[in-house]
Structures are given as structure tokens and as C-alpha cells.
Amino acid sequence: MSDAEPQALPGTEDTENEALPMMAPGVRRTVWLLAGLMPFLSILWGLQVAPEMGIALFKEQYLAIILGLSLGAIFLTKPFARGKRGPLPWYDGALALLSIGTLFFIAYDYQRFQLDFPYQTVEMLVIGGLVFALVMEALRRATGWVLFTIVLLFMGYALVGHLVPAPLTGRSNTLAELMPYLAFDTNAALGTPMSVAAVIVILFIFFGRLLVNSGCGEFFIDLATAGMGRRRGGSAKVSVMASALFGSISGSAISNVATTGVITIPLMRRSGYTNTQAGAIETIASTGGQLMPPIMGAAAFLMAEFLEIPYAEVVLAALIPAVFYYFAVFVQVDLIAARGNIKVIEKDLPKVSAVLKAGWHFLIPFAVLLFALFYLNAEAEIAALYAAIAIIGGGLLKSYNGRKLRPGQVVSAFSEAGLAMLELIIIVAAAGIVIGILNITSGGFALTLFLVQMGGSNLALLLAISAGVCILLGMGMPTSGVYVLLAALVAPALIETGIDRLAAHMFILYFGMMSMITPPIALAAFAAATISGAKPMQTGFESMKLGWVAYIVPILFVLSPSLIMNGETGDIVFNTATAVAGVYVVSVAVVGYFARPLPAALRTVLVVAGLAAMMPQSVHALGTVISLAGIGVALLILGRERLIGRSAATPAAENGL
């Protein structure tokens, strides 16, 4: 190895090489340090070390430091033009230094800037302009042109909003007013989205990295294999279960696909699923992890902050829709296995008891997390810190399949978490800029009025428009980032029409997440296709087919908040039971198999019956009758099919759900 080749830091050889592109050793170490400081400072902030030492520190000062570190790392790792990073250009080094210097100066002198804010000084105008330009360039490098263009359009609106026709007319502003506001105000770049990401989300990402480094991902896969491997379509059910478990803590559908998919996709292919099916199943399972309580890929904490409600309320609201989602996936992969005569996994499978005996220590951090959140009512960031301490203690003392958490891996988890947060930090800063523009121009009210007027008195049209906007804006963005943007742009319009606030935010979370599986930019599906060898677009459309329930359930809980645990107990139980029945029936129709292949006409009738069963009783005066009638029709059809198909049963029909 020549001297010019980059060397890894002690104890971080594998993780550093995977996390960073090939670059000079000095640059790599600098990025590793900048990224590692982010969760370290987050821990200090969560423990309130500064006040304990008698140091008065505004939250905005801490947020400015985190943003500066993120910008510096982005300019050192993301080249000006897409492609392989070569030697670091001088201008990227200069931008990194400028970013860190500017944001650290804001943090250092923030109190003075707050006093000078009403006077719109030249100094604040220059610094604000620098912050805006640096964030925009980092956003372009990290996410591409789509979000960059969206933010530029809002900036243009801020300057000429008074010329825009009603109802989108806004208040115009000058650059002298805008730049200090966007950089220094608590409702802009250093606002709520940045606060949640830098205070809470980063510690959960750190917790997740510790779990991965300690072998918890392998434990999840082994547990899923032990529990589901012996059942029909076991390889796909292993994928669904493992990805659901891992996805809740990973915070990224794409990283979830990359982590679990390299094991589960080849396993499904060997069992008999096609390349496209294997990729789509992994895509759906990994994407749905963002909906899985208790962590929900950190979106739950963002939602609780926006709505100013307890975190536990968000978790309870997400529970029933998550059950619908994964129940539909399980039913479909089971019926696909029956239709294709796919066998169980043909190898010696571990027992659940043996897996739990070897990896019981991985359950302790989750128990600690839930205990801290729900019993101690601890702040989310403190609960995440408790859980991280638990996994460090357990991982250092106990091994799993010969793998034990090493001190070097604990240290590297800081930098890995920081690197995983870079893109999100830049996105939430950009989202904060959009929110700030909507506030200073009154554009938020104008946009809400516009969407409501487009929908008119037709709720279905408004929901369709909103769903389309969510999917469009979400393309290519991580779930947490797109939720922040949609919470400012779309959710207010839904709430204005009388939709329950929590239901409106759950609606945008679901449809924003669906951008990961919806072509033409279905990033999670494309990542899975890379592993499976299938065509990316085919994998995307197959993912949409398997994930159909995620396009329907948000509409159901908007129509009836009982499906997000908001209502009378009787309504919650009845609507949940009938919806589960409807999900099963439609899933059968989507696959087109139940004891035997189903003709198209019968599948159409089952879709109608299933959707009728899913209708909440509050939607129509005859809602209860319609639901029960749908279930009755489905029972007659499926009962008849079962009797006809029983005589032709094959071994694959055994060991089903």
C-alpha cells in the first residue's frame, strides 16, 4: 500500500472505509472528527452539561454548531459535480472552513446578534446571505436539484409574493429583511426541525449504530428466521419480520434494504420467489419500518414536537395502521408462496429459544427505552441515551455468535451516526428556511387556502391532491426530512378542512414515505433491485402492488380517527376488526390466489367486498351494514373456493399463516 492511500483510524477500519469515499488520510480524519463531534455534543446538550457548569447557552447556539459541523463535512465528502471524489479541490476545503467559521461565529456571538436583529445590520445581512448560500449548495450536493429548486422557488416567492395572484398572494420582502431572518430567527434554519434532528434524532441514530455494531442486526435476522423459517414462504416472512424490526431503528428505508436485503433477498430467490418479487418484498418490509412503533425511524419524535403532544400518543396512533400494513404484506407473501408452491427454507433452522438465549441482552436496551419513555416520562433524548448505555454495557460484556461490541466500535459509532445525519441536517435546515419564508410572507395561510379551494367541498379531491403532493415532494428524500417539509406545506390544509390534527400528520407521513416505493424515483425499490438483479422499475411497480394498503389506510384513518386510537372503545374495536378482514380479502384479490387461482371477475368482486368491509362505520349512515355485507360476501366466495380447492391441496398449502 502506498503512502498516498488512505489509512483507517485504529479500531474503525471497516466502518470508516464503508462510510467515507476514498480520500486523503488527513481529509478523512477531519470528516471523521467533524461527524463524531455531532452526537458527542448532542449528548452533552441532553445532559445539560453547560448549565451545570454555570454556562448560559441558547439552544440556537448549539444548533448553529451542529449545522456548521454538518456543512463542513458535506463539503469535504460531496464533490461539486456528481461522480467519484478525487483529490480535495481547494474550493471545497475553503467552503468547509467558511461554513464552520461562519456558524461557529454565530454561536459565539448569538446573544449580540439577537440584540442587533431589529436593526438589520450589514453584518447580519452578509452573514445571513453566507448561511443561505452555504446551506443551498450543501443541499444541492447532498440531495440533488429537486429540493434545491423547491427552496429557490420559495425564496423567489418571498421576494415577489405580492405579485402572485390570489389566493397565493403573499407579503413581499427585501433581501435585507430575509437573510438575517432566515439565518438567525428561531422560526427558520435554526428552528423546530433542526432542533428535533440535532437534539433527539441524532441520539437515536447513535443508538441504532451501536445496535448494528454489537450484532443486533444479525440477532433480528436469526430471530425472524427461527420464528418464520419453518412456515410456508418462510424466506419472505423472515425478510418482512427482520426488516420491520430493523427498520424501526435504522431511520432510513434505503439503509434498511442494504443491511437486511443482502441476506434476505438471496434467501428468497433460492426459495423460489422471482427476482422482482424478492426485491419488492424487501422494499415493502424495509420501508414499513418507518411506521413501526416505538421509534418509527425517528418520525414519531418530529410529529410529537410539531403537534405538541406526548410521544406516547403518536406511538399509539401508529400502532393499528402498522398492524394493517404488515398483516397485508404477510398475507400476500404467504399466498404467493402457496400459488408458486414455494417450499420452506431447506436448512437447519435455529429455535427461537436458542436465539433468545444467545441474544437476550439485545432486548434490554429496548426495555430500557420503553421504560424511560412511558414510565419515567423522560425526554426522548434522555431515553435514547439510557438505551445506548444499556447496549454498550451488554454488548461489551456479552457476545452474540462470537461477535462482541469492541471499544473501538463504540468510538466509531459516534462518527457513523454523525455521517448518517449529514443529509438530514441539511434537509431540515432547508425545511426550516421554507417554514421561515411561509411565516414571514404569510404564505403558509395562502397555501392552505389554495389547497382547500382546489379541493373545494370535495374531501376526496383534497386528499387525492394532498397525497400526490406528498409523493412528489418526497421523492429522493429520507422519511424524516420529507415529513418536516410536508408538515409545513400540506398538513395545515388538511387540518383547516376539519380533519383530526394527528390524522392529518399521519396521512402526510404515510404518503411521504410511499415516495420510496413509487416510481419513477422509488429509491428503496431501486436499492433492492440492485441486490436482486431485477429491473428497477418493475421492482418499483411490484412494490406498489404489495404495498397497496399504505395507499388506502391513511384515507381510512382520516375518515375515522378511531383507527388511530382516537374515539370510543367500541368504535375502535369494530372498525379495526372489520378493517383487518377487509385487508385480508383485498390482499387475496391482489395476489389472485386462494386454495386455487382466482379468475379476474372474482378478484374484482373481492376487491369491492374488501373495500366495503374496510369502510369505517362513521363514514355513512349505513356504514356498519356495508362493512358487514362486504365481509359476508367475501366469506361466501372464499368459503366456496376453499371447498373447491381442498381436493387439489398440495404440500405447499400447509404451514400457512
**Bigger pLDDT: 226 vs 296:** 226
How far apart are the C-alpha atoms of 2 and 7, rounded to whole Å? Answer: 10
User: 118: cis peptide before it, omega within 30°?
Assistant: no
Say how many Å lie between the first and final Cα of the chain, rounded.
54
pTM of the shown model: 0.82
| Secondary structure string (H, E, C) spanning 270-331 | HHCCCHHHHHHHHHHHHHHHHHCCCCHHHHHHHHHHHHCCCHHHHHHHHHHHHHHHHHHHHH
Q: Which pLDDT value is given to residue 637?
A: 92
- Which stretch of DSSP H or E encloses residue 128? helix 122-143
Is the confidence at residue 298, as pLDDT, over 70? no
Burial degree of 149 (CB within 10 A; 0-12, 13-18, 19+)? exposed
Q: Which pLDDT value is given to residue 364?
A: 93
pLDDT digits 0-9 by tens, 586-632: 999 999 999 889 999 999 999 999 999 998 877 777 878 999 999 99
**Bigger pLDDT: 404 vs 458:** 404
Q: Which pLDDT value is given to residue 251?
A: 59
Is the confidence at residue 358, as pLDDT, over 50? yes
Question: What is the pLDDT confidence band of residue 470, given thresholds at 50, 70 and 90?
Answer: confident
Question: What value does the CA radius of gyration of the chain take, rounded to a whole number of Å?
Answer: 25
Is the confidence at residue 314, as pLDDT, over 50? yes
Is the confidence at residue 449, as pLDDT, over 60? yes
Q: Which pLDDT value is given to residue 5?
A: 33
pLDDT digits 0-9 by tens, 526-566: 889 988 988 989 999 999 999 999 999 999 989 889 999 88
**Bigger pLDDT: 346 vs 429:** 429
| Secondary structure string (H, E, C) spanning 190-231 | CCHHHHHHHHHHHHHHHHHHHHHHHCHHHHHHHHHHHHHCCC
Average pLDDT, the chain: 85
**Bigger pLDDT: 75 vs 201:** 75
**Bigger pLDDT: 13 vs 416:** 416
Q: Which pLDDT value is given to residue 169?
A: 84
SS3 514: helix
How far apart are the C-alpha atoms of 194 and 207, rounded to whole Å? Answer: 19
The mean per-residue pLDDT over the stretch 459-484 comes to: 81
Q: Among 11-15, 153-157, 470-474, which stretch is predicted with the lowest mean pLDDT?
A: 11-15
Q: Among 197-201, 202-206, 453-457, 560-564, which stretch is predicted with the lowest mean pLDDT?
A: 453-457
Q: Which pLDDT value is given to residue 614?
A: 92
Q: Which pLDDT value is given to residue 483?
A: 84
**Where are the domains positioned within the chain?**
13-192, 580-657
Question: What is the pLDDT confidence band of residue 4, given thresholds at 50, 70 and 90?
Answer: very low
pLDDT digits 0-9 by tens, 5-15: 333 333 333 44
pLDDT digits 0-9 by tens, 66-113: 999 999 999 999 988 876 667 888 999 999 999 999 999 999 999 899
Angle between helices 352-359 and 216-228 (to 10 degrees): 160
Q: Which pLDDT value is given to residue 332?
A: 94
SS3 536: helix
Question: What is the pLDDT confidence band of residue 410, given thresholds at 50, 70 and 90?
Answer: very high
Q: Which pLDDT value is given to residue 133?
A: 96
8 Å CB contact between 549 and 591: no
Q: Which pLDDT value is given to residue 30?
A: 93
8 Å CB contact between 528 and 279: yes
How far apart are the C-alpha atoms of 317 and 303, rounded to whole Å? Answer: 11
Question: What is the pLDDT confidence band of residue 18, given thresholds at 50, 70 and 90?
Answer: very low
* Alpha carbon separation from 358 to 229, 390, 398, 402 (Å, rounded): 18, 17, 9, 10
pLDDT digits 0-9 by tens, 248-281: 666 567 777 877 788 888 888 888 899 999 999 9
Neighbours of 131 (CB within 10 A): 28
SS3 403: strand
**Bigger pLDDT: 295 vs 451:** 451
SS3 2: coil
